[in-house]
Structure 1
């Protein structure tokens, strides 16, 4: 099977080399999300991106998340993690501990140090996420509210005017803003404010935000995270218009199936699976086609890949795929989900399907769908072949200590 995979990927890379436009053969984005709260139970720090070798293989780090409050302003959901927490020498990127009274501590200072070691690395503040998108609809409702929100985000995260610190203490950490509103015009987390006009207001907010970013610095980047489902795309996004405002967009390439469903399925299959019994068949390729058909330029589409798996328990029959389950499998951080670094050592039989770009693990009871380095090499080859913009990983703490997933993407997209 390994020889077959190598042959398939080699063929794709060969085709990509002769068929992709010249401008699409270079400059791939290699994005990874760093989660703010990972410094706690997960014990994953900014330094770990350096020691694993991941930092040198990335072009962008998206720092997740900044929130939007009921008043329509940007704010930090955890100032202690962001800029208040003193970092020890052991946990520091350069081995130097934070000193009492210094201007900036926490993750933001460590990100600044990481950028010093990797001058080409860009760090973006990601706004929203699943739990931080409740008030976006209110905040972008009028021209005045859009201007206020954009101004507050630029002031807090880019000018670095952080509460409790001297003016500009956080300047220079972030190179742009990544907008992760989940989701304009359609359901996201329980309690989110949703309006039909979110679709037009999302575009209008990007226009205003881009205007203010240009005033701040013409080199400031603006990106967004966009959904996989065609229904959510059409409910919330004027695709051609928003891509004109964005440097690039990362598109959801995971959670295509999950434990909210009563039977097993693929977390992030590259191609549509004819075996899939669901009435709507999702795949990374279908999502890319949906964006292209709506006017997104290929070079600005950055494909999301998971560093985690979706898992079910009580699964009986065959190879476990598309079988009924009794519920989510137990996971270290929550039911139904597990990090790649844990799954790679989990016992059971592994199955691989090159036609769909998938791998899964089944032990006769538990079923786990997750990507390993071989799957990511296949996905990266697809990105090259299609002339797309690059890859994005959620999230870097879930990769192993050798950055195996990050390295697999880099091997094809560098």
Structure 2
């Protein structure tokens, strides 16, 4: 079960989909106030935000306890819990069983105490996150809504942002788990542009939605958003007023990964998360540096931008050329789906043997992969510090090694 976080160059995002998007513009507005930084967020550059996926408890067998045993919990400042659904213009539960019903015995529980079947008792990931926060009082958890699969629901939400915001607040602040969450994250892929489906809500729809969320959640809760990193001319950043919406968010998570991948089955091979451009890059504007420069040029403060890292790689097969730019015959084999695999798998299956654009790549047999390593993450951290960015986020926790090799490089 997989819901990719962000795919900028997917063939699904073509003009044919755009033509099929018939979405009314948003009509509701709000009068929010900008939230001041909370004391725990003053050291903005040191934010470390990791995504935890609800479906990871199934095939991946990755649970909240693993965040603790890997040492990751001690290094995180925030966890983004992915994903809540967006349907019928409202926020909704993504997976009720994984979220709040799955039973954890003592061995599988964060604190070594089994869940109960008492009437009204909270179980599942939510209860485990509650226990994790007790072990780490400074850790905050933000509920993320949307994602690649469920972003189509934002079109309806944008028609009445105030009603949408109210539904989200009521769900996040449900008395059964209100103490678990410290705010909301919106992962709309992509406002006024194409992702899995296409959206035609208008350039200002995202701003109205974020304004309504800030008005409803107030200054004490976090309001964040994962956004496109497509800095190409006329690309997805240009399609939306991200600068206008920035005053309503605590920070943005530009998804500076998935720039290239085996949805272009014949290649050319290219690193999916380049920090900087390099000779022969398939498309200009598809780098972390391009995204940061474009977003800051619009007036978004660097401290409101987190640098994104993927804890996975993307790869092709049928490749004969070691350097980037080679031809391929299709996606390389992956553990859960074709063309993608976790870092913890790739470091042994296809060790990195080259770097380009500030990230790593590997050629083994006829397979070609690109992914970040502790060394390339260190380079990205130096870049983050030079640019004065607000911190780092990554997709997602289960891709790391059992002892947290990648998050240690962030730390």
Find the counterpart in structure 1 of residue 301 from structure 2.
297
Find the counterpart in structure 2 of residue 120 from structure 1.
138
**Cα distance change on mapping 1:137 and 1:360 into 2, 3 Å:** same
1:329 and 1:367 map into 2 onto residues whose CA distance is 8
Find the counterpart in structure 2 of residue 3 from structure 1.
none
**Cα distance change on mapping 1:279 and 1:209 into 2, 3 Å:** closer
**Cα distance change on mapping 1:188 and 1:36 into 2, 3 Å:** same
Match 2:74 to one of 53, 56, 71? 56
Cα distance, 1:352 vs structure 2? 2.4
Find the counterpart in structure 1 of residue 345 from structure 2.
342
Give runs of aligned pairs for residues 85-164 of structure 1, distance below 5 A. 85-101=102-118, 102-141=120-159, 145-157=160-172, 159-160=173-174
* Partner-residue secondary structure (3-state), 1:111: helix
Find the counterpart in structure 2 of residue 174 from structure 1.
181
Tell whether the 8 Å contact from 1:25 to 1:384 is kept in structure 2 after alignment: no
2:359 and 2:163 map into 1 onto residues whose CA distance is 44
Cα distance, 1:201 vs structure 2? 1.4
Cα distance, 1:348 vs structure 2? 5.7
* Partner-residue secondary structure (3-state), 1:325: coil
| 1:276-335 deviation digits (Å, cap 9, x = unpaired) | 2x2435211111001011111011100110100001000012x24110000000000000
1:111 and 1:25 map into 2 onto residues whose CA distance is 24
2:227 and 2:127 map into 1 onto residues whose CA distance is 29
* Partner-residue secondary structure (3-state), 1:135: helix
2:78 and 2:44 map into 1 onto residues whose CA distance is 15
Give runs of aligned pairs for residues 10-409 of structure 1, distance below 5 A. 27-69=45-87, 71-101=88-118, 102-141=120-159, 145-157=160-172, 159-160=173-174, 168-189=175-196, 192=197, 194-197=199-202, 199-214=203-218, 218-230=219-231, 231-235=235-239, 237-261=240-264, 262-263=266-267, 264-276=269-281, 278-317=282-321, 319-347=322-350, 350-353=353-356, 356-409=357-410
Tell whether the 8 Å contact from 2:44 to 2:303 is kept in structure 1 after alignment: no
2:44 and 2:287 map into 1 onto residues whose CA distance is 25
| 1:43-65 deviation digits (Å, cap 9, x = unpaired) | 00000000000011011100000
* Partner-residue secondary structure (3-state), 1:109: helix
2:309 and 2:149 map into 1 onto residues whose CA distance is 20
* Partner-residue secondary structure (3-state), 1:134: helix
TM-score (normalizing by structure 1):
0.86
5+ residue gaps, structure 1, are 1-22, 161-167
| 1:51-89 deviation digits (Å, cap 9, x = unpaired) | 0000110111000000111x2111112100000111111
Which stretch of the first structure deviates more once superposed, 337-346 or 255-264?
255-264
**Cα distance change on mapping 1:265 and 1:153 into 2, 3 Å:** same
5+ residue gaps, structure 2, are 1-40
| 1:17-67 deviation digits (Å, cap 9, x = unpaired) | xxxxxx997652100100000000100000000000001101110000001
1:349 and 1:301 map into 2 onto residues whose CA distance is 28
Poorly superposed stretches of 4+, deviation over 4 Å: 23-27
1:279 and 1:104 map into 2 onto residues whose CA distance is 48
**Cα distance change on mapping 1:155 and 1:404 into 2, 3 Å:** same
Find the counterpart in structure 2 of residue 5 from structure 1.
none
* Partner-residue secondary structure (3-state), 2:141: strand
* Partner-residue secondary structure (3-state), 1:331: coil
**Cα distance change on mapping 1:348 and 1:402 into 2, 3 Å:** closer
Tell whether the 8 Å contact from 1:349 to 1:363 is kept in structure 2 after alignment: no
2:258 and 2:149 map into 1 onto residues whose CA distance is 16
Compute the RMSD of aligned alpha carbons.
Answer: 1.5
**Cα distance change on mapping 1:208 and 1:281 into 2, 3 Å:** closer
Is the helix fraction higher in 1 or 2?
A: 1
**Cα distance change on mapping 1:400 and 1:348 into 2, 3 Å:** closer
2:89 and 2:201 map into 1 onto residues whose CA distance is 19
1:340 and 1:27 map into 2 onto residues whose CA distance is 25
Tell whether the 8 Å contact from 1:29 to 1:59 is kept in structure 2 after alignment: yes
1:348 and 1:184 map into 2 onto residues whose CA distance is 37
